[in-house]
Structure 1
Amino acid sequence: MHASCVLAFQRLVLCELKDNGEPGQMITRDAFEGSTTDELRYIENSFTYQGTLNVTAQVLNIHLEISKWRHEHLYYPFCIKLLKAYLEKRRNQVNRKVTPRVRIIKKTFLNSRGSQVSCLATGFYPRHINLTLFRDGQPVTDDVTGGDLLPNDDGTYQMRKILKISAEEQREKHKYTCTATHVSLDNKLDISLESDHGTPIKPVISSILTVLALLIVTVVAVIIWRKRNAAFKSEYSSASTSQKLVDTAS
């Protein structure tokens, strides 16, 4: 019995339209077993090629000639036609502009001496946005994570960038700002956060202890009230029984 062998070959073909409605570039990527083998770009009747195919120059030239013919006569005309039809059908949805909602939040870690500043932009459309974190007016690139563009369930997008702050930097006073630029905004949007030394641990612990003390007092008061109420009912019941016995004896 021989084990079956499955080889995966993938091809991605995409095209674009410029803002003036004219056709833009077209890109074709081939992948074999999950790794990109070659990429061909077609724009204004010219081709550029990048690849890692381990073949002879003669075989590669034949491959490129076939690819050029496919782009000129099949892929490019069909892709542009399909894209135009889609944009015509979804024009209002595709051309809409939704302003991003931007927030900047500082979080202090109680179990460590560090903290982080997060900048979140969400609910914007179209997808292209520039999100930058500033420290004292200077853009920060080191120690910044995130920046991935993620979709929302309503068709808009979101992006988050996080700046990790060391213990030494946390003790200093800095002004952190998040700046967003988007096609829906006439000007850039700046959201500032005045930094502090973080949330002190002792006041937090004191607040928790105060809440617990109030909770304990409340529980004790309820227990005492229930016991007194039960004792009162028991005395009332005994008194009623005694009165009935006296009435019977009379």
Structure 2
Amino acid sequence: MKGFILMFLVIGHLYEPFGMTHSMKYFYTASSEVPNFPEFVIVGMVDDVQMVHYDSDSQKVVPKQDWMKQTDTQYWERQTATALGSQQTFKADVDILKQRFNQSGGVHILQYMYGCTWDDETGQTGGFRQLGYDGEDFLVYDMKTFTWIAPKQQAMITQLNWNHDQSGLAFRQNYVTQTCIDWLKKYLDYGKSTLMRTVPPSVSLLQKTPSSPVTCHATGFYPSGVMVVWQKDGQDHHEDVENGQILPNDDGTFQKSAHLTVTPEEWKNNKYQCVVQVTGIKEDFIKVLTESEIQTSWGKTNRDDPAPNIVLIIGVVVALLLVIVAVVGVVIWKKKSKKGFVPASTSDTSENSGKDAQKI
């Protein structure tokens, strides 16, 4: 299970907004014999903010943001009906794949990710769709030809069937190039007070011991598009730099760290600085590496200030929470069992309604 959780954490930012690019993503997961985990989960996200959730235990699609409550009752009823149909198809697909891979019992995961991106400055759009089984690519959607590619022999039957379904191909192309974009814009309008805001980061330089790496920690920023770069004498410096993942805070903002391994002699004889750039904010946020700027628990600077330790503890807790969220809602990155998409003008997730589902 650890493998596909980490996969989501990485993939979650393959399409993260940078510049003024917005994204909508849906993650589906069907599982077999995973203890204390629903057999089927759907998570929908806009700009990396979870907006809807469904699982086979509750059997109900629910909003995860207040701004999603603007939608009417019929919307949630349709979404739930669609999710219930998908749940049955995905469950059957897991059984089909176990047969294809000559598997019997044990833990197995079928994952599916699809969505789109839109740049509100240039108007450029993009799309993506991918399935995976047990942590490996199963089918990949080619955005140039709008057809499926099978990385594995066991997927070739599905590839041939789906690529010969002309109505299905046409629908998937229309969804990823138009319908998905329209719904993304609609959701952005619903949540514009939250999703379209910009919040500057708080930047700190942290160090545990004199021999530890110096951490440039940016937190509290929004949106999630960020660059945290160490510079030496005015030039970007990548040697001995380890970049951390972008992680969410409980208030909807984000945090990211970059760790620089450097000796005190080196940074005292050269100008090292951390530069943070956040999407939508023209100003750069800079911290010059000096003794007075380093927050630590071992030196004179902030000796009695527990804030740095608290920041690090919060970072660890948030990272753990992200993993929990990934398990509970998005261990899903490669899955797509049923068909591709069932057209329904009233729902952005209708591509997976049971009405026109294709079996793997």
TM-score by length of 2: 0.45
Residue among 279, 284, 292 paired with 1:188: 284
* 1:143 has 2:244 as partner: no
Change (3 A) 1:50 1:128: farther
What is the number of equivalent residue pairs in this alignment?
Answer: 190
CA distance in 1, matches of 2:207, 2:252: 28
CA RMSD of aligned residues (A): 3.5
Q: Are 1:95 and 2:196 counterparts?
A: yes
Cα distance between partner residues in 2 of 1:74 and 1:188: 38
2:228 maps to amino acid: L
- Between the aligned partners of 1:184 and 1:20, the Cα distance in structure 2 is 11
Q: CA deviation at 1:77?
A: 5.2
Q: Distance in 2 between matches of 1:153 and 1:141?
A: 30
- Asked which structure has the greater RCO (Cα within 8 Å, sep 6+), the reply is 2
Cα gap change, 1:29/1:135 in structure 2, threshold over 3 Å: closer, same or farther? same
156 and 54 in structure 1: CA distance in 2 versus 1, 3 angstrom threshold: same
Change (3 A) 1:72 1:115: closer
Within 2, Cα distance between the matches of 1:21 and 1:169?
43
Three-state SS of the structure 2 residue aligned to 1:194 is: coil
Matches within 5 A, 1:1-250: 4=105, 7-19=108-120, 24-42=125-143, 46-47=145-146, 51-54=150-153, 60-66=159-165, 68-72=169-173, 78-109=179-210, 114-166=211-263, 169=266, 173-194=269-290
Q: Which has the higher strand share?
A: 1
| Alpha-carbon displacement from aligned partner over 1:190-244 (angstroms, at most 9, x marks no partner) | 2102359x9xxxx99xxxxxxxxxxxxxxxxxxxxxxxxxxxxxxxxxxxxxxxx
Change (3 A) 1:30 1:174: same
The C-alpha deviation readout for 1:30-79, integer Å capped at 9, x for no partner, is: 00112122321437xx4376541216988744433446234135566553
State the AA in 2 paired with 1:136. D
Identity of aligned residues (%): 26
The answer to which of 47-56 and 122-131 deviates more is 47-56
Q: Residues of 2 paired with 1:127 and 1:144: CA distance?
A: 21
CA distance in 1, matches of 2:270, 2:123: 48
**Structure 2: tracts of 5 or more residues without a match:** 1-103, 301-360
Which protein shows a greater Rg? Answer: 1
How far is 1:98 from its partner? 0.7
Structure 1 gap segments, 5+ residues each: 205-250
Letter in 2 for 1:88: D
CA distance in 2, matches of 1:191, 1:48: 48
Q: Is the 8 A contact 2:198 2:281 kept in 1?
A: no
Contact 2:148 / 2:159 at 8 angstroms: preserved in 1? no
Letter in 2 for 1:63: W
- CA 1:48–1:166 in 2, change beyond 3 Å: closer, same or farther? farther
User: Secondary structure, in 3 states, of the residue corresponding to 1:126?
Assistant: coil
Instruction: Specify the SS of the correspondent of 2:163.
Output: helix
What is the alpha-carbon distance in structure 2 between the residues aligned to residue 48 and residue 76 of structure 1? 14
Q: Which moved more, 1:92-101 or 1:138-147?
A: 138-147
Separation in 2, partners of 1:13, 1:57: 20
Instruction: Verify the 8 A CA contact 2:241 2:258 in the aligned structure 1.
Output: yes
Structure 2 CA distance for aligned equivalents of residues 115 and 8 of structure 1: 40
- What is the CA–CA distance in structure 1 between the aligned matches of 2:121 and 2:260, rounded to whole Å? 39
Pairwise CA distance, 1:178: 0.4
Q: Distance in 2 between matches of 1:185 and 1:23?
A: 20
How far apart are 1:156 and its partner, in Å?
Answer: 0.6
Aligned residues of 1:29 and 1:40 also touching (Cα < 8 A): yes
